[in-house]
Amino acid sequence: MKDLHTLSASKLHRLFLRGDLSAFEITNHFLARIEAHNDALGSFLKVHADKARKKACAIDERKARGLPLGKMAAIPVGIKDNTHIRGTITTCASKFLADYRAPFSATVVRLMEEAGAIPIGKTNLDEFSMGSSGENSAYAKSRNPWDLERTPGGSSGGSAAAVAARLVPIATGSDTGGSIRQPAAFCGIVGFKPTYGRVSRYGLIAFGSSMDQIGPLATCVEDAALMMEIIGRSCPHDPTTFDLPPETYLDLQKKDLEGKVVGVPWSFLHNLDPQSKQSFDSSVATLKDLGATIQEVDLDLLRYSIAVYYILATAEASTNLSRFDGIRYGKRSTKADSVEDIYQMSRNEGFGSEVKKRILLGTFVLSSGHQDEFYRKAQKMRFLMQEAFAEAFSACDYVVMPTSPVNAFPLGSFQDPFHMYLQDMFTIPANLACLPGISVPVPVAEGELPLGLQILGPQMRDAAVMQAAYAFECASSRIQIPRAFL
């Protein structure tokens, strides 16, 4: 079949089980897609072609012998290159880890492989997940398949671009301040950030440990639900995961929102460009047509979310990245003559400018003279924001916002870090409050760039958020594959 890439991951899995396709055929098709288009997109940093084909053959053999097959059997998956696959290089798109070979697989990778998924390669990202545009990789800029001169978003831009261009049917991302949802919106696909603690972070190289979450990037809500069925479970290696039974995500039957109340924080929704505002208003009208009651909620405290996030996230990044010292692993400067030189020169040569900026800021806010002034105040504000969301959810089932105040912007258009950071103003609150959130494509006019609607729910209501997204998706015209990648 020449058009395998037009099919969802769930459909490919069903065709495989029915005997219409082999895992080897599916894998070869997507490997050919990557070879043909990756140079233009910069989506994959490394492709594990031989390993993927060997895994596909093993799955075909299991099927031939009548052995049990997992829920993701025969589905190729892109893995963001801050997540370990045993025996392969994990770079975090940084020169510092150019030769670091992972000694174990992340829990999410292990669970997907046990379910029959085929990790096909490592996708590009902003270095150490620090960025909103895909421009901060040490190896290649990722590009948006809808317009190659525009950003695919960040930091999971490589995964988002790969899924949007159908180089892979589904991929993982990590979300610290919107790094799954914003690229999903920019690339016209679905991106889901689970409740903090729903998915194991074991094997994920940390950026902000109290906010990082792994989640799926997919072409449709059903595929995102499929991945969450596999990875959304507790892990003995990660004490922050919830020791609760896995949720059922694939029970996507209801196509309306009758009896549901949807909260909209209208006073917080500023800085929208005209297209984004029109699109959001239209999306709210669709939710109303689906039977939801629309109600305004007070979330004015969220105007402080950018400041709070960039204090807390950089503080945690400063602590987490202190292990990269050129001594135990990673890049070691060949010019160093002393231990102090090794520390300084290795980090200077290995880290990019954005990473250095965030380490410096994080170290500053944690310093003895400024910890009370910045870090502790930010923690108090984070608690107040969590209380504000709790109050909002006492009156509504979901909160909706645009995923981004703008659509995909041209590469290189933001030279001022402050204006770049503002692109995450609508996604950051979910991370600060540890909420589940999903970005779903919204209808746009012919020739316009994709946009996303963000749906947030209370903590631990991940499956309910997925159900609401499915209802919205069914009522909306879906964005198709970018014409250049058909």
Which of 142, 155, 283, 439 is the catalytic position? 155
Q: Is 80 a catalytic residue?
A: yes
Token duo for residue 33: 């897609």
Token duo for residue 371: 């910890």
Q: Is 477 a catalytic residue?
A: no
Q: C-alpha dihedral over 196, 201, 206, 209, to 10 degrees?
A: 30
Which of 8, 10, 22, 80 is the catalytic position? 80
Contacts of 44 (CB under 8 A, 6+ apart): 34, 38, 78, 121, 122, 123, 124, 158, 162, 167
Euclidean distance between CA atoms 103 and 21, whole angstroms: 33
Provide the strand spans (E) within 343-409: 398-402
Supply the angle between the helices 49-64 and 23-41 in degrees, to the nearest 10.
160
Q: Is 11 a catalytic residue?
A: no
Euclidean distance between CA atoms 292 and 101, whole angstroms: 50
Q: For residues 219 and 457, is the Cβ–Cβ distance under 8 A?
A: no
Q: For residues 295 and 263, is the Cβ–Cβ distance under 8 A?
A: yes
Euclidean distance between CA atoms 22 and 245, whole angstroms: 32
Which of 142, 179, 200, 346 is the catalytic position? 179
Euclidean distance between CA atoms 433 and 123, whole angstroms: 28
Closest of 397, 419, 400 to residue 269, by C-alpha: 400
Helix (H) or strand (E) holding 447: none
Q: For residues 188 and 479, is the Cβ–Cβ distance under 8 A?
A: yes
Token duo for residue 64: 């031939």
Q: In what order do the strands lie in the sheet with 261-264?
A: 44-47, 118-123, 76-80, 170-175, 213-218, 190-193, 437-441, 452-456, 398-402, 261-264, 293-296
Strands 452-456 and 261-264 come out as unpaired
Euclidean distance between CA atoms 388 and 383, whole angstroms: 9
| Catalytic residue annotation | 80, 155, 179
